[in-house]
Structure 1
Amino acid sequence: VTQSYISKCSIDGKQGFKATYWNNLARQGEVVVTQQIVNPLKLTTAGQHEFASGVRLEGFSAKYETEFVPSQSEEIVFKCGATGHLELLVNNESVIRYDNWRTLPSRHPMVVEAGKTYKIKVRYAQLNNWQANLEFDFGKEVDIDFGALLTKLAGIDVVVFVGGLSTNLEGEEMPVSYPGFKGGDRTEIELPAVQRHCLQRLNDAGKKVIFVNCSGSAIALVPETESCDAILQAWYGGESGGQAAADVLFGDYNPSGKLPITFYKSLQQLPDFEDYSMKGRTYRYMSDPLFPFGFGLSYTKFAIGEARVDKTEITCGDCVELTIPVSNTGKRDGTEIVQVYVRKVDDTDGPLKTLRGFQRLNVAAGKTSQAAVNLPYASFEFFDRTTGKMKVTAGEYEVLYGNSSDAGDLKMVRMTIL
């Protein structure tokens, strides 16, 4: 967390920032109002709020000035974000400058010398029809005191920890600079360290930890599989996302979701981004992930039986139908998603498997239902290196079926294309 140094700043003998506002975008002409701000900047026009009295909601600009004289030499960080135009200057040198349509966090470290005066200036302007927003603070980053958190949780046995990432951190072309993130890209795929450490401390304290992970991409959750008793992948929920997560956590809804992407163990499992081969990427070309594509647990258990197929030899235009028994061996009604993958046996450079069909099946506790998955002729189409095209070629194929892409969750029948 950032220990704010705003209280250590002053200008013209007054603590904090001197704020100056204009009802134009150029910071010129008649000044609307000046103010002294003694807290970190957090200003918005949301809800028709003015940045200051008399300042318009659109077409305005502002300047915030102060001076900081550090008592010791150390590294500090500037943290800011804005919807509109933002520029941070330190001793008249531009440190951060961008225009953006949404407020995203930006972090800029700087080493300061004891006794030296640092003139800090923030320039802002509202742009287009964007709702104006400005956030700014700076100071020293200090470790979080997890001891205080554990004191608050004395006598609590179960902790639901909602964490993960944010759309303010991961995305495309964003002015974001935080550990693990750069410009909207991710430089690491682990959970942010502060959350990882917190989960471990909760576990060390003997708490039962349920981790609700909010993210729009895969996270390497290897330590969390040990520090947490359960993990719920919640993605980025909409208005009812919290209710949906609560329904699952309290058992009012039996989950049946399956991962639409592969969750890797670490960044080391991924080839270099500039390597355009598919080797080692996704369930189709790697077999040792943390959580495989198509994986997902339920509050009941399912057993996948032996599939019946209407044919094992296929001629041009034929379809194949698999009938797969699914037994609910648990004590709760539930939903299973049966997945069918295809692999071309002699395709040494081709994918390990490719999803070609699936069916969502409701099965009552103690009952067995039949999943019917149809594979059209095109399901056996793969890249043919002799012609350089996607096509169905004669040969042996494996049809794999089960409840995830992991080899241990799949059964297999062989088929021949004549």
Structure 2
Amino acid sequence: MAEGTKVAVIGPNADNELTLVANYFGYPTAPVTALEGVMAKAGAENVVYAPGSALAGGVFGNHKPVEASVLKHANDKGALEPGLTMTSSDNPAREGDPVSVTVDAQLDHHWKTSPIDGSIADEFGIVWEGFIVPEEDGAYSFETARESEAIIGGQNVSDGPVEMKAGEAYPVSYTLTVERFWPRNTIEPMASLSWVNRSRNWAGEALAAAEEADAVLFFGGIDADLEGEELSVEIDGFLGGDRTHLKLPRVQEDLLKKLHATDKLVVLVNFSGSAMALNWEAENLPAIVHAFYPGEKAGSAIADLLWGEFSPSGRLPVTFNTSLDGMPAFDDYSMQNRTYRYYEGKPLYPFGHGLSYTSFAYSDISVPEAQDGAEAMPVSVTVTNTGERAGREVVQAYIQLDERPNPSTPRVELVAFDVVELAPGESQTVKFDLSPERLGYFDKDGALVAPAGMSATLSLGGGQPGFVEDTGAASARVTFTAD
């Protein structure tokens, strides 16, 4: 983007740290969300931000620590003063006299060692008590750190949003119990209370932000609060951590359609650990970046990519289908229509797919006309950067047997890949020695069989055969001879 371009950063994952780490994670020491990365790249004065919507249903990705300005405790005379009363004990059951009773300005902690005695892997208990005095009316959803429980206005925050009125004082009690008991972790304990006002005009704020900007960057998708192991979420598209359809959550797609109608440039950056059926988005948006769950510095990397600091070279390790239609049932363990190797339909984005800011052409493929199936087969191809900027290309080699000996034999299979970096106009020959294990197939008893007496097509290119432009791959025939 040109210097000085005004950018609207919109979407429920724009400032959602959970998209950086996903399931089974450690806490990053210096995370950079998409919003932070874009602000650093474009300059804060050129960025306007609005979350725009929930992730899905009542699940939000933009909880932020409850501000110190709304946290109060009662003094000896009953008057409210800033901060919460923090009572610390040197044992998880909080038995006996407390170690200390202090006032904590804000409930947002990530300790490297024990806050009680500075030790590592300590066991202790802390209770924060006081009041929250919100500045706006609304239904507030709260999140707590692990090993914690919060009661606000007499309601456990895990039971759903808390209705609150501006200026009213709501009792808060937050309990942190740190003990050595699976699956709890006493290393680097945390205590935090974050919230989001679900009653805001989310879509309205997003459309207002878009009006102020030259371009819209929409950071959407899902996160590990929606897909994961043994979750309690039961909303459209999600059941217990599983997906019941592949669509982008309705609330996000509806907002994207409204943003698209403004005639502003809208780019989607999608976060998810699984495939998404981005059908409307693929047809109507000029660019889609799939980020998966990319790690703590993702915001910086995504901003560099969008601003053209480097050319993208990632390739999909899974198939993005248009829907679940035709897919086998969850309890059907056959491979029919599963993965790119057996799928018979037309995917939205195939396994191995990925675009670049430059272009590559394939030529001079070398494949033996006849090959002993029990020996390694040498193959090669020339790759040329035909674009105007440097780029990295993932060269993929696929085999397709003319006849599938049994249903478990893949219709197409990736057998090797390599990566080359080429300047504009530069060419390089990429070579593979394909082992018999890569060229063979498994019989009905599970034994590996060399493809003796069979014919196949070898394709070397930037993606699956049939899903790249004519110059984006080169193919050749080979006949495997018998011993």
1:303 is matched with which residue? 361
Deviations along 1:277-306, one digit per CA (max 9) or x if unpaired, are: 111221111142211111111112222235
2:434 is matched with which residue? 375
Match of 1:82 among 135, 142, 145: 145
Q: For residues 190-209 of structure 1, what are the structure 2 equivalents within 5 Å?
A: 190-209=247-266
Measure the CA separation in 1 of the matches of 2:327 and 2:153: 39
Match of 1:160 among 199, 217, 234: 217
Measure the CA separation in 2 of the matches of 1:44 and 1:87: 15
Asked if 1 retains the 8 angstrom alpha-carbon contact of 2:112 and 2:189, the reply is no
1:391 is matched with which residue? 449
Amino acid at match of 1:83: R
2:462 is matched with which residue? 403
2:124 is matched with which residue? 59
Structure 1 pair 120–274 and aligned structure 2 pair: CA distance change class (3 A): farther
2:5 is matched with which residue? none
Two-structure CA RMSD over aligned residues (Å): 4.5
Q: 1:35: Cα distance to partner?
A: 8.1
Asked if 2 retains the 8 angstrom alpha-carbon contact of 1:215 and 1:236, the reply is yes
Structure 1 pair 325–356 and aligned structure 2 pair: CA distance change class (3 A): same
Deviations along 1:154-192, one digit per CA (max 9) or x if unpaired, are: 342212233333345544456666765555444443334
2:92 is matched with which residue? 25
1:125 corresponds to 2:177: yes
Q: For residues 2-401 of structure 1, what are the structure 2 equivalents within 5 Å?
A: 21=87, 23=89, 24-30=91-97, 33=101, 42-46=107-111, 58-62=123-127, 79-86=142-149, 108-109=159-160, 124-128=176-180, 129-134=186-191, 141-142=198-199, 144-167=201-224, 169-173=226-230, 180-181=237-238, 183-268=240-325, 270-286=327-343, 287-305=345-363, 307-309=365-367, 311-347=368-404, 349=407, 350-385=409-444, 387-394=445-452, 395-401=454-460
Structure 1 pair 393–45 and aligned structure 2 pair: CA distance change class (3 A): closer
TM-score by length of 1: 0.73
Deviations along 1:238-268, one digit per CA (max 9) or x if unpaired, are: 4543332222222221222211222222344
Structure 1 pair 215–150 and aligned structure 2 pair: CA distance change class (3 A): same
Asked if 2 retains the 8 angstrom alpha-carbon contact of 1:396 and 1:415, the reply is yes
Q: 1:208: Cα distance to partner?
A: 0.5
For residue 289 of structure 1, give the secondary structure of its aligned residue in structure 2.
coil
Asked if 1 retains the 8 angstrom alpha-carbon contact of 2:458 and 2:477, the reply is yes
Measure the CA separation in 1 of the matches of 2:205 and 2:197: 20
Q: 1:308: Cα distance to partner?
A: 2.3
Unaligned 5+ segments in structure 1 are 52-56, 67-75, 97-106, 113-118
Q: 1:120: Cα distance to partner?
A: 9.5
Structure 1 pair 89–358 and aligned structure 2 pair: CA distance change class (3 A): same
Deviations along 1:120-149, one digit per CA (max 9) or x if unpaired, are: 976542233244445567898447432233
Measure the CA separation in 2 of the matches of 1:254 and 1:140: 39
Asked if 2 retains the 8 angstrom alpha-carbon contact of 1:22 and 1:28, the reply is no
Structure 1 pair 262–230 and aligned structure 2 pair: CA distance change class (3 A): same
Structure 1 pair 239–302 and aligned structure 2 pair: CA distance change class (3 A): same
Structure 1 pair 36–303 and aligned structure 2 pair: CA distance change class (3 A): closer
2:31 is matched with which residue? none
Q: 1:274: Cα distance to partner?
A: 1.5
Measure the CA separation in 2 of the matches of 1:34 and 1:245: 42
Unaligned 5+ segments in structure 2 are 1-53, 64-69, 117-121, 132-138, 164-170, 181-185
Amino acid at match of 1:246: A
Measure the CA separation in 1 of the matches of 2:255 and 2:107: 27
Deviations along 1:33-78, one digit per CA (max 9) or x if unpaired, are: 59899xxx95434377979xxxxx8501438699xxxxxxxxx786
Measure the CA separation in 2 of the matches of 1:248 and 1:43: 32
Percent identity over paired residues = 31
For residue 271 of structure 1, give the secondary structure of its aligned residue in structure 2.
coil
2:476 is matched with which residue? 413
Measure the CA separation in 1 of the matches of 2:287 and 2:173: 47
Greater displacement, 404-413 / 217-226: 404-413
Structure 1 pair 193–144 and aligned structure 2 pair: CA distance change class (3 A): farther
Measure the CA separation in 2 of the matches of 1:120 and 1:182: 31
Higher relative contact order (CA closer than 8 Å, sequence separation 6+): 2
Structure 1 pair 64–407 and aligned structure 2 pair: CA distance change class (3 A): farther
Measure the CA separation in 1 of the matches of 2:416 and 2:339: 17
For residue 374 of structure 2, give the secondary structure of its aligned residue in structure 1.
coil
